[in-house]
Structure 1
Amino acid sequence: MASDNTPSDREVDDPDKSDSASTRRGLLRAAAGATVAGAASTAGCLGVTTPADVAARNQVSGNVAHFVGPSWLADNREDVVVLDARNVERFRKERIYGARRVPFDAITSRRSTDAGLVPDAEAIADAFAEVGVSPDDDVLVYGASVGSRVTRTAFALAALGHEGDIKALNGGLSGWNGRLGTGSRDRVQEAEYEPDPAESAWVTREWLADRVGTFNGDGPGLVDVRVPEAYVGAPASDALNPDNDRHGHLPGAIGVHWVGNVAGRRMTEPGRLVQLYENQAELDRAGTVVVYGDDNVDPTSTWLTLRAIGFEDVRVYDGGFGEWANVEDDRGRYPVETKTSVVVETEGSVGGDDGGGDFSCTG
């Protein structure tokens, strides 16, 4: 595989600070049992932030799947493949040491079938193979936060039928106080990745069309993850995609904006997520839930969030509202609704590499 000869991964700390790096890793491990609330009442509020504070803020506690904190990564760094979901400029500037970057265009690629657009398993598998990911590797994905680029990468692996564990780093890169790398990535040995597509991870346009009239009633739960203005097709709203011929939502879908899954760089507190999706949205954790947005990236945030809090069967409509709204033939089979709207209000914000913290001593 081609690679340039510019400086590869290197440790940001000076060589004579190896003891300090070891101490940092020890502090990360020691903070594994700490809670976010505990961190908010200790050193951070005195103007001193330690590696243990950082780890504790981003620690994931309770019965939560897939999301892990930096202390988990400190303990398991040698056993997982670390994937960076950010763009190439940020990747080269600074990243977790040894991380690999998968081209985002590749893992969002789709192919056309008679039933509609579906993930292009061959193209996605080739992208992971190129950076040395094998089907049985345990993988951790991180980004600037736990936003939808991270969750789309996780979904792409799941769609391939990935056999290893798939985890996302709570807090993103800013939560990591371990070894860092810069420059172009190290050469890695290309792997073989024969996909075994997990078709239960997604649904098609035709699958949905066959069930119109049953969503959130006798049939599957259906969640529109776009902003409310797009969901109701608000006239003249900037939220409307000008490339879509029709606006609104699939009949019976409820609107729950995906940003409610994220609090800055971290996942929203799990208890609030259960309240949001089980109590307010009234989704059945034991039933099938389908999520969709305008494309096939943002819905994966809700896909991973629901799986993390115990929903058993969550699927992505990979074609997205754009495919549904712009279908050319027999539009009566693919109706769009603007009335009878159910919007569940969410609160959330997605952090990034802005240099500012999302931690407050006042909570």
Structure 2
Amino acid sequence: MVEKTPETDDDGSGDATRRGLLRAAAGATVAGAASTAGCLSVTTPADVAAEYAVTGNVAHFVGPSWPAEHRDDAVVLDARNAERFREERIYGARRVPFDAITSQRSTDDGAVPDADAVAAAFGSVGVAPDDDVLVYGASVGSRVTRTAFALAAIGHSGAIKALNGGLDGWNGRLGTGTRREVSTTDYEADPAPSAWVTREWLAERVGSFNDGGPGLVDVRVPEAYLAAAGSAALNDDHERHGHIPGAIDVHWVGNVSGRRMTEPGRLVQLYEGEAGLDRSETVVVYGDDNVDPTSTWLTLRAIGFEDVRVYDGGFSEWANADDRGRHPVETATNVVVETEGSVGGDDNSGDFSCTG
């Protein structure tokens, strides 16, 4: 049984939320009584724990037993939008400003994560550099993984975990209403540039990707990668369409099955068997932006890839680069690895980016 608790309401009282919960509880009682003849199915916390448990040699993704075991010493971050956060969340969760953790700064080599802005965003909700952190959303979509990446990019020393199954994968106490204020921390970033690459890092290696050099994965839908004429997947803001030469296409949604990560054995088959990536070599992932690629970044790390990096500037930066000779775009040679996947919950309705 899941307990819902109003943490506070907009006026600080929690009364409005409490009345709503009482009405909902009353309705549930009537519905339950009317449904006994039809053998109403009951889901217990043990059922949820079993459904969303993470088994095998998988890093970073955890089931509901992990936060239960670490509830006294872990910070819980909600990656959804503010409306969903107010409606219902894990009790005690904090919501980090998402725009801040995707912020970038310009350098001569291209866009990179703005480590100071990202660190300030986490500090604003009381995250300290050595805190163990659990991130969740409506599923394990790309806002969750971007939050995890942002922590890694600023050198977070505590554990970084993502809740398999999202909020549906939680079987503990829930809160509603407006979150009480939390104490801020002075989070000093210790940037980890090995987590990302720049436009110029890629330009120096054009011609070597997936052929004796680093593996390069385009996480967008195949239509964008292939520059399919007339496709709605083509970004109107791009001066050129196609992909970075040598990149293979593995759409990121293949990492997700509903609200949980795709079965690990299937992921190993997808990335090692079909895509031909080497887990002991550097792999770089990119999309249109710096959000969706982080799904593949965390997935590859979870199944044992040692050195995975995000091109934070994304194809938007590459396609619009001034020096086109140094930053070529390819359409003639194409390698598309077919994926099957779906993002459940609210992750495809504006909460998360699902188009690469």
TM-score per shorter chain, which class? Answer: 0.7 to 0.9
What corresponds to 1:61 in structure 2? 55
Counterparts of 1:309 and 1:323, CA distance in 2: 29
Q: Check the 8 A contact 1:7/1:183 in 2, yes or no.
A: no
Counterparts of 1:172 and 1:8, CA distance in 2: 25
TM-score, reference length from structure 2 = 0.87
Structure 1 counterpart of 2:342, one-letter code: S
Secondary structure in structure 2 of the residue aligned to 1:331? coil
Counterparts of 2:277 and 2:332, CA distance in 1: 21
- Choose the corresponding residue for 2:226, options 228, 232, 235: 232
Task: Assess, with a 3 A threshold, how the Cα gap between structure 1 residues 179 and 234 changes in structure 2: closer, same or farther.
Answer: same
2:250 corresponds to 1:256: yes
For residues 261-281 of structure 1, what are the alpha-carbon distances to aligned partners after superposition, in whole Å with 9 as ceiling and x for unaligned?
000000000000000001100
What corresponds to 2:123 in structure 1? 129
Q: Check the 8 A contact 1:263/1:348 in 2, yes or no.
A: yes
What corresponds to 1:98 in structure 2? 92
Counterparts of 1:157 and 1:13, CA distance in 2: 35
Spell out the pairing of 1:71-150 with structure 2 (5 A cutoff). Answer: 71-150=65-144
Spell out the pairing of 1:5-16 with structure 2 (5 A cutoff). Answer: 5-7=11-13
Spell out the pairing of 1:174-189 with structure 2 (5 A cutoff). Answer: 174-189=168-183
What corresponds to 2:313 in structure 1? 319
Counterparts of 1:254 and 1:180, CA distance in 2: 42
What corresponds to 2:282 in structure 1? 288
Counterparts of 1:225 and 1:51, CA distance in 2: 35
Deviation at 1:8, TM superposition (A): 6.2
Deviation at 1:306, TM superposition (A): 0.2
2:159 corresponds to 1:165: yes
Q: Check the 8 A contact 2:140/2:166 in 1, yes or no.
A: yes
- Choose the corresponding residue for 1:52, options 22, 46, 51: 46
Secondary structure in structure 2 of the residue aligned to 1:234? coil
Secondary structure in structure 1 of the residue aligned to 2:72? helix
Unmatched segments (≥5 aa) in structure 1: 18-44, 355-363
Structure 1 counterpart of 2:135, one-letter code: V
Q: Check the 8 A contact 2:248/2:337 in 1, yes or no.
A: yes
Q: % of aligned pairs identical?
A: 78
Counterparts of 1:191 and 1:8, CA distance in 2: 26
What is the number of residues matched between the two proteins?
322
Deviation at 1:339, TM superposition (A): 1.5
Counterparts of 2:14 and 2:77, CA distance in 1: 16
Counterparts of 2:72 and 2:109, CA distance in 1: 42
Spell out the pairing of 1:20-35 with structure 2 (5 A cutoff). Answer: none
Q: Check the 8 A contact 1:6/1:183 in 2, yes or no.
A: no
Spell out the pairing of 1:182-221 with structure 2 (5 A cutoff). Answer: 182-221=176-215
Spell out the pairing of 1:321-336 with structure 2 (5 A cutoff). Answer: 321-328=315-322, 330-336=323-329
What corresponds to 2:4 in structure 1? none
Structure 1 counterpart of 2:87, one-letter code: K
Counterparts of 2:269 and 2:335, CA distance in 1: 16
Q: Check the 8 A contact 1:209/1:333 in 2, yes or no.
A: yes
Secondary structure in structure 2 of the residue aligned to 1:289? strand
For residues 284-309 of structure 1, what are the alpha-carbon distances to aligned partners after superposition, in whole Å with 9 as ceiling and x for unaligned?
00000000000000000000000000
Structure 1 counterpart of 2:80, one-letter code: R
Structure 2 counterpart of 1:270, one-letter code: P
Q: Give me the CA root mean square deviation.
A: 2.0
What corresponds to 1:270 in structure 2? 264
Deviation at 1:64, TM superposition (A): 0.3
Counterparts of 1:305 and 1:84, CA distance in 2: 19
Counterparts of 2:40 and 2:175, CA distance in 1: 30
Counterparts of 1:279 and 1:298, CA distance in 2: 22
What corresponds to 1:351 in structure 2? 344
Counterparts of 1:254 and 1:299, CA distance in 2: 13
Unmatched segments (≥5 aa) in structure 2: 1-8, 26-38, 348-356
What corresponds to 1:70 in structure 2? 64
Q: Check the 8 A contact 1:7/1:184 in 2, yes or no.
A: no
Regions of 4+ moved over 4 Å: 7-14
Structure 1 counterpart of 2:139, one-letter code: S
Deviation at 1:187, TM superposition (A): 1.3
Structure 1 counterpart of 2:328, one-letter code: P
